[in-house]
Amino acid sequence: MPATFTTDTVLCDVLVVGGGAAGSCAAAAALAHGAKVCLAVKGYFAQVGMRGAGASACGNTEHGLPRLPDIPGINYQPEQMVENAIKAGLGMADRKLVHLLAERAADTRRDLDAWGCIFPTMGAAGLGFPFIRAVEKKIRSDAAVLENIMIFDLIIEDGECIGALGFTIQGTLVTIYAKAVIIAAGGDAQLFSRNVHPSCCTADGYAMALRAGVSLMNMEFMQIFTATVSPTRNLVHTWRPEQLEHLYNRENHYFLEDYLPAGITAESCRDENIRHAPFSTRDAASRYLAVGIVKEILAGRGTENGGVYLDLRSSAHLVKPVVREFMRYKGIPPEGPPLEISMAHQCSNGGMQVNGEAMTSVPGLFGAGEAITGTHGADRIGANMLAQCAVFGRTAGIEAARFAAGQRKQRPKRKGSADFPLIRSETNGAGNRSSGTATKYRKSLAEASWKYGLVLRTKTGLEQWYDLLESADDRLFTVERMLPRKN
């Protein structure tokens, strides 16, 4: 953060924070309902491979909306979808929100079709990017798109959210006054040293909402996947159990059997693993694969880059052609040298609590996508996150536009930079103020989060993690409240 900065002010009806699948759908829906929209993105909007499109632009996956009604050959069963989600979430999803997800999916799909969304089948072009691409032109022409801006705090007045503050990459402090704000800033993947998200997913939405008094729920639940650690970070799906027979540590030892309790076989562990991500609530055995991988690495028997080896050479032909092509493109060809893999954070199931209109407990503050929770509990059904981004993105856009239309309140007088004093807390000395200290701390926190908070969670580990978190205030600058809160 620069010592001196210029300031700018933006006025709009609806501010959308984040340009991933959820933010794009929200902005498009708000525009369609007559709102004057501003979309703020920490990076470039709608550019694959650059921070800005968020997790939504990661390839090689699928989304749930093509499974919806009116699609030839699709047997859509909303009641079944609800029961599956509740069961997978071990009862910790919000039944009402799950129902709404199933109920609104058809209208959402119709809107996406109308916006020109082309649903690809599974492959590198998949995931949420088609949603973004479909609405990009409309958003760029009809909304104010602010790129390379980090929104870092909400403006709360009389208990209502009336805007947000951001810093641009050039160092301009931007005050955005809005009648409604939608947080669609994604999840907290960058908290973990091994993750498969772009660098922009740093839990800013959770932090801002929490400071504004919004409850976060289900934060301990996340998807944890096998992923390569070098030379690039990518999910590694295995497609047949026999592919996992070639999983070994740096001592060339096949270690899975070492971690299986009585009654669990390597076969059942591998069979379950190929059905979906490890550690699923729907499985009894697959978790031991994840536990084994992490324990081997922690015991110092991992690879130089912090993984274990998975040799797919003899089974490369089992990898689907489109995935094989994607892996080659990413520099991890299945027929190449053994992959170095670890367990990585893939998706957060927790987030802000919202109601059926996607509004938080703070009037005027809405949310969608990985920033919110409720439609998933302890575990989620594959492809449901992107379905939620589209359905609740659309809901948030519509409801925020309605809320904004009903607001007659005058916005506060425009303020100058002097009205936003940046209060920095005292730290232990000049050394602590260098960005090197922040980088070092962040790295150690990410490693501790992976070690203590992802696959293996013990009382001692969680306490050590907590201690490190608590020490943050002594080590870093903290930017405190930008505006006095009256609530």
Ligand X SMILES: Cc1cc2nc3c(=O)[nH]c(=O)nc-3n(C[C@H](O)[C@H](O)[C@H](O)COP(=O)(O)OP(=O)(O)OC[C@H]3O[C@@H](n4cnc5c(N)ncnc54)[C@H](O)[C@@H]3O)c2cc1C
Binding site for ligand X (CB under 6 A): 17-23, 40-43, 51-56, 58, 61-63, 127-128, 150-151, 184-186, 196-197, 200-201, 204, 235, 346-347, 369-371, 382-386, 389
CA–CA distance, 8 with 172 (Å, rounded to integer): 7
129-273-338 Cα angle (round to 5): 80
CA distances from 336 to 234, 317, 324, 339 (A): 15, 12, 11, 8
Question: In the bound complex, what is the minimum distance in angstroms from residue 332's beta carbon to ligand X?
Answer: 13
Give the residue with the Cβ less far from ligand X, 17 or 359: 17
DSSP string, 349-395: --EE---TTSB-SSTTEEE-GGGB-SS--SS--TTHHHHHHHHHHHH
CA–CA separation, 163 and 182 (whole Å): 10
Residue with Cβ nearer ligand X (97 or 266): 97
Least distance to ligand X, CB of residue 482, Å: 14
The helix, strand and coil proportions of the chain, stated in percent and rounded to the nearest 5, come to 40, 20, 45
Burial code (b: 16+ CB inside 10 Å, e: under 16) for 402-415 equals: bbbeebeeeeeeee
- Distance of closest approach, residue 305 Cβ to ligand X, in angstroms: 19
Closer residue to ligand X, CB minimum distance, 350 or 369: 369
In the complex, minimum distance from the CB of residue 383 to ligand X, in angstroms, rounded to a whole number:
4
Q: Indicate the residue among 224 and 256 with the shorter CB distance to ligand X.
A: 224
* Helix and strand numbers, DSSP H then E, in the chain: 12, 13
Residue 184 or 285 having the CB closest to ligand X: 184
Task: Supply the DSSP symbol for 306.
Answer: S
Q: Work out how close the CB of 352 gets to ligand X at its nearest, in angstroms, rounded to a whole number.
A: 11
- 481: its two tokens: 């409240």
Q: Shortest distance, CB of residue 399 to ligand X, whole angstroms?
A: 17
Q: Give yes or no for a contact between 419 and 482, defined as CB atoms under 8 angstroms apart.
A: no
> Rounded to an integer, what distance in angstroms lies between the CA atom of residue 368 and that of residue 143?
19
Of the pair 111, 296, the CB lying nearest ligand X is at: 111
- The token duo for 441 is 């701390």
User: CB-wise, 150 or 400, nearer to ligand X?
Assistant: 150
- CB of residue 237 to ligand X, shortest distance in Å: 10
Tell the smallest beta-carbon distance from residue 9 to ligand X (Å): 17
Q: Which of residues 248 and 392 has its CB atom nearest to ligand X in the complex?
A: 392
Shortest CB 137 distance to ligand X, Å: 17
For ligand X, which is the closer residue by CB, 42 or 451?
A: 42
H-run or E-run covering 99 = helix 95-114
Rounded CA gap, 151 and 178, in Å?
Answer: 13
Angle of helix 384-405 relative to helix 21-32, nearest 10 degrees? 30
